[in-house]
Chain A
Amino acid sequence: MPRLLVRGRRQPLSGTVKISGAKNAAVAIIPAALLAAAPVRIENLPDINDIRILVEIIAELGVQVAWETPSTLLIDASTLRKVRAPYELVKKMRASYYLIGALVGRFGRAEVPIPGGCDLGPRPIDQHIKGLAGMGAKIEVEHGLVKVEGKRLQGANIYLDIVSVGATINIMLAAVRTKGKTVIENAAKEPEIVDVANFLNAMGAHVRGAGTDVIKVTGVDELFSATHCVIPDRIEAGTYMIAAAASGGNVLLSDVIPKHLEPVTAKLREMGMTVDVFDDQIRVIGNYEPQAVNIKTFPYPGFPTDLQSLAMVLLTQAKGSSVISENVFEGRFKHVDELKRMGACVKVEGRTAIVTGCRRLSGAPVSATDLRAGASFIIAGLIAQGETVISEIEHIYRGYEKICEKLNALGAELEEID
């Protein structure tokens, strides 16, 4: 597997970067397309490995797929017959669990291997199972498969014990063609959920309240053809905002929804960065002497857990000590050991990390422990003295479209090596 060489401290990032479609919306919208026995067109899909794997999975299930452009996919699920997803592909990505809701919604049956993806500590799918069971599905987990039998599903009131994006979307997918009304309480409010609901409604579904903590889905008999454009990726945007800030650069991000980036914008400003917000663009101007700040990750609209590791890199350069509280995933400090090898001073206690700033980072060989950790090592490499070599970069390519090209166009020096 190739590795990524990052040459540090070359120059501050400068220029314009266009943000791609949201991975976390796209990986749910593609399975959602299986609910209709009619062709649909999905635009603004990111060119990333997770999408390629997902497209391979649905093609394996018998769905007709064709790329109209590099970012526009035509899906015709009228030929879909199989309800068992292939293990070899499913194990590569966590979001394959959306196939459960989609297949149960369409056929009343699904057999999906327990999904893979980033290792961020325990991420059980018990809330997904609770929701489906509440609608009358029978669920068994055996031989590594989640088997769901739900021929006679009925709308139900489901209260999620914890706010879960995956469970919220999966229940929505299962409920769209289920008789009666399903009410999801304590639902997640992430913009990606709104985008999935938009797509479902464009196909003729009756989903109301997405983006609030109560989502109501009234079942319909059939879904129809539709075209949908995926929203911009707020996590990719946040990544480039932090990269610009850390390098002391001046970067304009285009094709963003600034409202979705408010928690990141607020923290960067608190650190002393200049963030100018325009209609669908954001300019970040870095400051070499950022202020220490405390960050607490929370479900949207809180500071996103997906940007925690990247923010940590920025805080290694701050004046003073910062505290990061990880409130979403238990095992999301696995990047810390690698950052320490680059000279970062971080102390982890449970779900809290204390970052002592003003540390000069130095290039080192590091391993991308997960997708976002991989991105944080790139940023660390950009501001470090010397060269950083990142291995296991397949994690990074799962979620970032053309990250090397985009950063190099801003003045970075990244190179894939054998």
Chain B
Amino acid sequence: MVSSFDQTMKFKRVAEEEKYQAKDVFSVVYGALKEKGYNPLNQIVGYLLSGDPAYITSHQNARVLIRKLERDELLEELVASYLRELEKQS
């Protein structure tokens, strides 16, 4: 058996993992979907509902990027942003 420790591996520091912000992720994913001719709203809602990364294009690494955050974190950011807007209007 070949041990996985024989492989050259890249280790990511925790800090590096934590640097992804929902807003940045949405921005890249939105741009990538739009560039490829998909409706970003349909596709992002589909992903949030089903959890299937197939909804997100691989263009601009968007499919990988959206998986960097949990769906509940993405959803929380969306609802928070919407509520902030509501508060501003009231």
User: Which residue numbers of A lie inside 8 Å of B, CB to CB?
Assistant: 12, 189, 191, 194-195, 197-198, 201-202, 208-212, 226-227, 229, 231, 248-250, 257, 259-260, 274, 276, 279-280, 283, 285-288
Contact = CB atoms under 8 A, between A and B. Distances in A.
B46 A286 contact: no
A280 B58 contact: yes
Nearest to A201: B42
A231 to B, nearest CB: 5
B1 A201 contact: no
Given A12-B2, A198-B43, A201-B39, A212 B50 contact: yes
Contact of B55 (A211, A276, A279, A286): A211
- Size class of the B contact interface (CB-based, 8 Å): 20 to 34
Contact of B49 (A211, A257, A287, A288): A211
B46 A227 contact: no
Contacts of B54: 191, 194-195, 198, 211, 231, 257, 260
Nearest to A191: B54
Contact of B46 (A211, A250, A283): A211
Interface in B7-57: 7, 36-39, 42-43, 45-46, 49-55, 57
A194 B63 contact: no
Contact of B36 (A227, A274, A276, A288): A227
Nearest to A300: B52
A276 to B, nearest CB: 6
Contacts of A260: 53-54
Contacts of A195: 54
Contacts of A286: 1-2
A364 B55 CA distance: 44
Contacts of B63: 257, 280
B49 A259 contact: no
Nearest to B42: A201
**Top 9 nearest A-B pairs by Cβ distance?**
A211-B50, A211-B52, A279-B64, A194-B54, A191-B54, A250-B2, A274-B4, A231-B54, A194-B52
Nearest to B64: A279
Contacts of A209: 46, 49-50
Contacts of A226: 37
A287 B58 contact: no
Nearest to A274: B4
Given A191-B52, A259-B52, A286-B1, A197 B37 contact: no
